[in-house]
């Protein structure tokens, strides 16, 4: 057992490959992303290939997820946000699978890398900006100058508003990455205590069991937080300012 708590976050190459000197090797991170996508597609395929009036376990699970995300999107954005339902559902399931799979022994948590969470956040942010311009036109820029601001402090307020808006994808990505990183490090540290303490490792073992249950909760919670904040940003893009 490797006792370094950071070792679990190392990206290793499974299939080396490069194009014009650019490394695009298939890594352990790529493998678990692919596994997440395959799992999501398989779930919906099994649930929808022969839907029944009285659903089985797989169909019921899929319907619960569908209704949960639909209600979340409707509560944040309203029915006008349903056009973005595929994006929100895909985000939630992809992050959820990445978080949950990362709790399996020997697995890799790709959501513990800021390059992954940052990419997801910037995809959401890019779509939000496109939606905002489509819905508001150049009125989108009004958000950077709140009404009633005294003229002398306008040069100060506008940069602050722009920075606070542009920092959204950064905070969105760091929240998910930091929680996954910290939680898995704690689990690995307590697992190391179990090995080092021998018979007396029963105490850190019991704490590790508690932490695993807590990490399962955090895995679901962080996927939900990322999703609901994405919905909030979409709602903000659809609102006129």
Mapped onto helix, strand or coil, the DSSP state of residue 65 is helix
Please state the domain extents for the chain.
28-48+55-238
What one-character-per-residue DSSP string does 147-207 give? Answer: TT--GGGHHHHHHHHHHHHHTHHHHHHHHHHHHHHHHHHHHHHHHHHHHHHGGGGHHHHHH
pLDDT band at 241 (very low <50, low <70, confident <90, very high): low
**213 pLDDT above the threshold of 90:** no
Task: Kindly report, residue by residue over 133-142, the tens digit of the pLDDT.
Answer: 888 887 778 8
Pull the structure tokens for residue 37. 């996508």
Task: Kindly report, residue by residue over 93-116, the tens digit of the pLDDT.
Answer: 999 999 999 888 888 889 988 999
6: burial class by Cβ within 10 Å (0-12, 13-18, 19+)?
A: exposed
Task: Kindly report, residue by residue over 168-206, the tens digit of the pLDDT.
Answer: 888 889 989 888 888 878 877 777 777 676 666 677 677
pLDDT band at 228 (very low <50, low <70, confident <90, very high): very high
Give pTM, 2 decimals: 0.86
Closest Cα partner for 76 from 240, 233, 241, 182? 233
**236 pLDDT above the threshold of 60:** yes
The rounded distance, in Å, linking the Cα atoms of 119 and 40 is: 20
The per-residue pLDDT for 91 is 93
The per-residue pLDDT for 37 is 95
56: which DSSP letter? -
The rounded distance, in Å, linking the Cα atoms of 235 and 73 is: 9
**230 pLDDT above the threshold of 90:** yes
């Amino acid at each position: 057992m490797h006792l370094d708590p950071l070792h679990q976050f190392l990206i290793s190459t499974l299939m080396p490959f490069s194009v014009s000197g650019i490394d695009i090797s298939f890594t352990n991170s790529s493998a678990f992303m692919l596994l997440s996508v395959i799992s999501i597609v398989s779930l919906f395929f099994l649930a929808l290939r022969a839907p029944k009036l009285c659903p089985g376990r797989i169909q019921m699970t899929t319907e619960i997820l569908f209704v949960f995300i639909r209600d979340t999107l409707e509560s944040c954005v309203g029915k006008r946000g349903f056009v973005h339902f595929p994006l929100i559902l895909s985000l939630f399931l992809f992050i959820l699978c990445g978080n949950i799979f990362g709790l399996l022994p020997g697995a890799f948590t790709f959501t513990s890398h800021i390059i992954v969470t940052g990419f997801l956040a910037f995809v959401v942010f890019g779509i939000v900006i496109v939606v905002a311009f489509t819905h508001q036109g150049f009125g989108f820029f009004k958000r950077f100058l709140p009404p009633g601001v005294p003229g002398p402090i306008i040069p100060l307020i506008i940069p602050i508003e722009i920075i606070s808006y542009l920092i959204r994808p950064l905070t969105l990505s760091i929240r998910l990455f930091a929680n996954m990183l910290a939680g898995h490090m704690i689990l690995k540290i307590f697992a190391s205590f179990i090995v080092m303490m021998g018979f007396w490792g029963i105490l850190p073992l019991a704490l590790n069991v508690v932490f695993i249950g807590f990490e399962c909760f955090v895995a679901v919670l962080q996927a939900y937080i990322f999703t609901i904040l994405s919905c909030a940003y979409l709602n903000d893009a659809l609102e006129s300012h």
